[in-house]
């Protein structure tokens, strides 16, 4: 019965394209099914990801070890650059999708990082970076393959190698001991 309800919920979500994309992105259903995000969802998710990365990296620069501080400096530079690029190329009808502040989910992750005990900070920071960059790679890959806006598709494809490198760097944090 639980599987049937889950399948019915997914079918309902996917039945309304605009609604399904937003809920699908928010819940991770689109990622699991490999569905491309709408342009508005892509813009919102990229902007939110960049803001969260920059906020986490600022904490990493204050509280991290030498390796995390170096990683954080690169994340601030790279994610500031992608934020600026995104804002410059967002279609007029998607401009409203750029959030001005972190959503509650992202803010709670940042708060958790801020409040991590010194002994737990590296573990929290490192795993957050791996997770965030896996999500970003998935988002950019899906948009590059099936996105609606040609300029953003090209930018997404061009940005993917850097995001994959960020993921690799995040996966290697703490392994050089």
Query: What residues does each domain of the chain span?
Result: 1-35, 36-172
N-to-C CA span, the chain: 49
Which 8-state DSSP code applies to residue 106? H
What pLDDT does residue 172 have? 95
Supply the pLDDT for residue 34: 66
Contacts of 79 (CB under 8 A, 6+ apart): 49, 50, 53, 54, 57
DSSP per residue, 45-65: HHHHHHHHHHHHHHHHHHHS-
Tell me if the domain spanning 36-172 has CATH number 1.10.3720.10.
no
The two structure tokens encoding residue 47: 């902007």
Taking the chain (177 residues) in runs of 10, the rounded mean pLDDT of each run is 44 39 51 75 93 97 96 97 92 76 94 95 96 95 93 96 97 80
């Amino acid at each position: 019965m639980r599987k049937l309800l889950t399948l019915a919920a997914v079918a309902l979500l996917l039945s309304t394209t605009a609604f399904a994309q937003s809920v699908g992105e928010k819940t991770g259903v689109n990622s699991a099914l490999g569905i491309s995000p709408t342009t508005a969802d892509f813009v919102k998710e990229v902007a939110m990801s960049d803001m969260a990365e920059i906020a986490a990296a600022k904490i990493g620069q204050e509280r991290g070890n030498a390796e995390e501080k170096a990683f954080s400096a690169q994340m601030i530079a790279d994610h500031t650059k992608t934020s600026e690029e995104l804002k410059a190329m967002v279609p007029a009808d998607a401009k409203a999708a750029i959030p001005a502040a972190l959503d509650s989910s992202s803010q709670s992750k940042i708060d958790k990082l801020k409040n991590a005990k010194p002994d737990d900070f590296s573990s929290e920071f490192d795993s957050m970076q791996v997770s965030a960059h896996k999500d970003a790679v998935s988002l950019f890959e899906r948009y590059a393959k099936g996105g609606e806006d040609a300029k953003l598709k090209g930018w997404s494809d061009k940005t993917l190698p850097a995001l994959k490198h960020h993921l690799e760097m995040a996966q290697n944090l703490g392994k050089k001991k």
